[in-house]
Amino acid sequence: MTSIDRTKPVMVTGATGYVAGRLVEKLLNEGLTVHAAVRNPDDKEKLKYLDTIAAKSKGTIKYFKADLLTPGSYNQAMKGCELVYHTASPFTVSVKDPQKDLVDPALKGTRNVLESVNDTTEVKRVVLTSSCVSIFGDTKDILSYPGKIATEDNWNTSSSLKHQPYGYSKVLAEKEAWKINRSQNRWDMVVINPSLVIGPGINPNGTSESFSIIKMLGDGSLKSGAPGFDFGLVDVRDVALAHYNAGFIPEANGRNIIAADHRTMLQLAETLSNKFGNKYKFPNKSVPKFMVWLMASTVGMKRKFISRNIPYPWVFDNSKSIQELGINYRSVDDSVVEFFQQIVDSGSIK
C-alpha cells in the first residue's frame, strides 16, 4: 500500500509522446506539478500542446532534458518526486536496426530510469508503461495460454530481434524492470499493459505507430482489401486514466491489461465508412490469408508474421483493470471515429 503526497511533483518520462500527452493533461488538471522529462526542451513546436494544457489547468509543468541512453540524465527531473511514470520507449515497427532502434532504448532506458529511482530516496512508486505485446507476441500465442485467453499471468515468449522486435523490446524491458524492482523494497511498481491505443491525442501530428495504423484504413493503402488482422483496442484517455489511478490508488499492483475490446481491420473500416461514407478509401472486403501471405514482401510484411496473426483474435481478460483500477471503458467504435477525424483534420489524409 503506497500513498503519494499530491503536493510533491510527479515525473513523466517521454512526456512528448501520444500516451504521455493525455497522462500529463490528467495530472495537470488534477492540480499536480509535473516534471516532464523530454529529449529536447527547446523544441517549442512539440511542447506547445503541453504548454496550452498547462496554461488552462490548475497544475504546473516543468521541463527537464533527458535521454533514455544517457546514464543519470533523469536524476534532475526525479528530484523530490514520490511518483515516477516511465512511458518513454520507441513505438514503431519500421526500423532498420531493431537492437539499436528498439531494444537499446527500451531495455537500457528502463535500466537507466530505474537506477535513478534507486538513487532518489523520495521515490515510493513507479508506474511503468509496458504493453499487451509483453503478454503475447503473436495472436496465435493466445491459443496456447490456459483457457485460450491472455491474462496478466502470461508472458510473450515468441518475439525476438528477427520476429516482432517491438514486442521483444517491451517484454525485455518489463522483465528487467521487475528484476530491478524486486532487488529492493523501498519503491513499488505498477505496470500498465495497453493494447493498441487509439483516440485523439493532444498533438494531432503524433508520430506513434497508432496514427499510422488508423491512417492506413482510409488513405488507400488497403484499397484492394483488409488483411484479417484483429486488434485489441483502447482509448488513449482510458490509458491515461489507468496510469493516473495506478499512481494514486494505494492498493494498485502488478501488471494490468488495459484493453476495451477487439476489432478486425475490416470491422474498423466498416465503422469508419458508416460515419464518413465514401469520402475516403476504406476497404470494403477482406483479403484471404493466402493472398496476404503471397504478397507479404510487396506489402512489407514477413510471412511468419502473417501466419501467426491471421485470423487469430485478441482474446483477453481486462477484469483486473475494471475492478482494481476503476476503468469504465469508452466505446472503441467512438474512439476510432474521433481518432480518424483528428487525423483528417491534421491534413495527413486527403
From the number of C-beta atoms within 10 Å of its C-beta (0-12, 13-18, 19+), residue 265 rates as buried
From the number of C-beta atoms within 10 Å of its C-beta (0-12, 13-18, 19+), residue 350 rates as exposed
Give 6 or 39: the residue with its C-beta nearer to ligand NAP: 39
Count CB-CB contacts under 10 A for residue 68.
24
Q: Which residue is nearest to ligand NAP (CB)?
A: 17
- Binding positions for ligand NAP, 21-50, rule CB under 6 A: 39
- Binding positions for ligand NAP, 85-104, rule CB under 6 A: 87-91
Give 287 or 309: the residue with its C-beta nearer to ligand NAP: 309
Give 242 or 287: the residue with its C-beta nearer to ligand NAP: 242
C-alpha cell at 192: 500498465
143 part of the interface to ligand NAP, by CB under 6 A: no
CA distance 157 to 255: 17
129 part of the interface to ligand NAP, by CB under 6 A: yes
255 part of the interface to ligand NAP, by CB under 6 A: no
Helix (H, G, I), strand (E, B) or coil at 60: strand
232 part of the interface to ligand NAP, by CB under 6 A: no
Give 19 or 268: the residue with its C-beta nearer to ligand NAP: 19
Q: Which residues sit opposite 129 in a β-bridge?
A: 192
- Binding positions for ligand NAP, 48-77, rule CB under 6 A: 67-69
Q: Where are the alpha helices (DSSP H) in 14-108?
A: 18-29, 44-56, 75-78, 98
Shortest separation between residue 95's beta carbon and ligand NAP, angstroms: 12
Give 106 or 123: the residue with its C-beta nearer to ligand NAP: 106
CA distance 311 to 342: 29
Q: Which residues bind ligand NAP (CB under 6 A)?
A: 14, 16-20, 39, 67-69, 87-91, 105, 129, 131, 170, 194, 196-197, 206-208, 210
